[in-house]
Amino acid sequence: GESVGLHLPTLSVQEGDNSIINCAYSNSASDYFIWYKQESGKGPQFIIDIRSNMDKRQGQRVTVLLNKTVKHLSLQIAATQPGDSAVYFCAERRTGRRALTFGSGTRLQVQP
Protein backbone atom coordinates (compact mmCIF):
# COMPACT_ATOMS: atom_id res chain seq x y z
CA GLY A 1 0.00 0.00 0.00
CA GLU A 2 0.97 3.62 -0.05
CA SER A 3 3.34 4.64 2.66
CA VAL A 4 5.97 7.05 3.78
CA GLY A 5 9.13 5.30 4.92
CA LEU A 6 12.54 6.05 6.28
CA HIS A 7 15.82 4.49 5.24
CA LEU A 8 17.49 4.35 8.67
CA PRO A 9 15.91 3.81 12.05
CA THR A 10 18.85 5.26 14.01
CA LEU A 11 21.45 7.83 13.04
CA SER A 12 24.40 8.58 15.28
CA VAL A 13 26.53 11.67 14.61
CA GLN A 14 29.21 13.66 16.35
CA GLU A 15 28.42 17.06 17.74
CA GLY A 16 29.22 19.69 15.16
CA ASP A 17 28.80 17.38 12.19
CA ASN A 18 26.05 17.75 9.64
CA SER A 19 23.17 15.26 9.79
CA ILE A 20 21.10 13.98 6.91
CA ILE A 21 17.86 12.14 7.52
CA ASN A 22 16.18 10.55 4.53
CA CYS A 23 12.60 9.66 3.74
CA ALA A 24 10.98 7.88 0.80
CA TYR A 25 7.37 8.40 -0.12
CA SER A 26 5.32 6.43 -2.57
CA ASN A 27 2.38 8.66 -3.50
CA SER A 28 3.09 11.00 -6.38
CA ALA A 29 -0.13 12.85 -5.56
CA SER A 30 1.36 14.27 -2.37
CA ASP A 31 1.61 18.04 -2.51
CA TYR A 32 3.00 18.97 0.88
CA PHE A 33 5.67 17.55 3.15
CA ILE A 34 6.65 18.30 6.71
CA TRP A 35 9.50 17.32 8.98
CA TYR A 36 8.79 16.97 12.68
CA LYS A 37 11.03 16.48 15.69
CA GLN A 38 9.74 14.60 18.69
CA GLU A 39 11.46 14.54 22.04
CA SER A 40 10.61 12.09 24.75
CA GLY A 41 7.30 12.90 26.42
CA LYS A 42 6.40 15.62 23.96
CA GLY A 43 4.31 15.98 20.87
CA PRO A 44 5.88 16.36 17.41
CA GLN A 45 7.43 19.77 16.89
CA PHE A 46 7.25 21.36 13.45
CA ILE A 47 10.70 21.87 11.92
CA ILE A 48 10.24 22.78 8.30
CA ASP A 49 7.87 22.13 5.44
CA ILE A 50 8.00 22.15 1.66
CA ARG A 51 5.41 22.19 -1.07
CA SER A 52 5.64 19.94 -4.09
CA ASN A 53 6.36 22.87 -6.42
CA MET A 54 9.68 23.44 -4.63
CA ASP A 55 12.93 21.48 -4.60
CA LYS A 56 14.61 23.03 -1.60
CA ARG A 57 13.76 25.10 1.40
CA GLN A 58 16.02 26.41 4.10
CA GLY A 59 15.42 27.33 7.69
CA GLN A 60 17.65 28.02 10.62
CA ARG A 61 20.34 25.28 10.47
CA VAL A 62 17.93 23.02 8.56
CA THR A 63 17.36 22.38 4.89
CA VAL A 64 14.76 20.18 3.29
CA LEU A 65 15.31 18.76 -0.17
CA LEU A 66 12.57 17.26 -2.28
CA ASN A 67 13.26 15.04 -5.26
CA LYS A 68 9.95 14.27 -6.90
CA THR A 69 11.51 12.15 -9.61
CA VAL A 70 12.55 9.48 -7.14
CA LYS A 71 10.01 10.41 -4.46
CA HIS A 72 12.65 11.24 -1.90
CA LEU A 73 12.74 13.78 0.89
CA SER A 74 15.68 14.65 3.09
CA LEU A 75 16.32 16.80 6.13
CA GLN A 76 19.76 18.27 6.58
CA ILE A 77 20.78 19.64 9.96
CA ALA A 78 23.91 21.74 10.01
CA ALA A 79 26.32 21.73 12.96
CA THR A 80 24.30 19.16 14.88
CA GLN A 81 23.97 19.87 18.58
CA PRO A 82 23.11 17.63 21.55
CA GLY A 83 19.72 19.35 21.68
CA ASP A 84 18.97 17.95 18.24
CA SER A 85 18.82 14.44 19.68
CA ALA A 86 15.27 13.25 19.10
CA VAL A 87 13.13 11.19 16.76
CA TYR A 88 12.50 12.80 13.41
CA PHE A 89 9.44 12.10 11.31
CA CYS A 90 8.63 13.01 7.77
CA ALA A 91 4.99 13.42 6.86
CA GLU A 92 3.18 13.84 3.58
CA ARG A 93 -0.19 15.26 2.74
CA ARG A 94 -1.94 14.11 -0.37
CA THR A 95 -3.62 16.62 -2.62
CA GLY A 96 -7.17 17.30 -1.54
CA ARG A 97 -6.82 15.54 1.78
CA ARG A 98 -6.21 16.87 5.25
CA ALA A 99 -4.66 13.83 6.84
CA LEU A 100 -0.91 13.55 7.24
CA THR A 101 0.76 10.21 6.62
CA PHE A 102 3.81 9.81 8.80
CA GLY A 103 6.95 7.82 8.31
CA SER A 104 8.14 5.45 11.00
CA GLY A 105 10.73 7.87 12.34
CA THR A 106 14.51 8.10 12.64
CA ARG A 107 16.21 8.45 15.97
CA LEU A 108 19.05 10.95 15.84
CA GLN A 109 21.72 10.51 18.50
CA VAL A 110 24.29 13.25 18.86
CA GLN A 111 27.52 12.18 20.49
CA PRO A 112 29.39 14.92 22.42
Residue 2 CB, nearest approach to another protein (Å): 13
Site string for another protein, 72-111 (x = CB under 8 A): -----------------x-x-x---xxxxxxxxx------
33: closest CA among 90, 97, 83?
Answer: 90
DSSP state of 78: S
Rounded (10°) CA dihedral 76, 79, 85, 87: 0
62 binds another protein (CB under 8 A): no
The SS3 assignment for 72 reads strand
Is the Cα dihedral 90, 86, 10, 82 positive or negative? Answer: positive
Q: How far is the CB of 96 from another protein (least distance, A)?
A: 10
Q: Using CB under 8 A, pick the residue from 44, 73, 75, 86 that binds another protein.
A: 44
Interacting residues toward another protein by CB under 8 A: 32, 34, 36, 41-46, 49, 89, 91, 93, 97-105
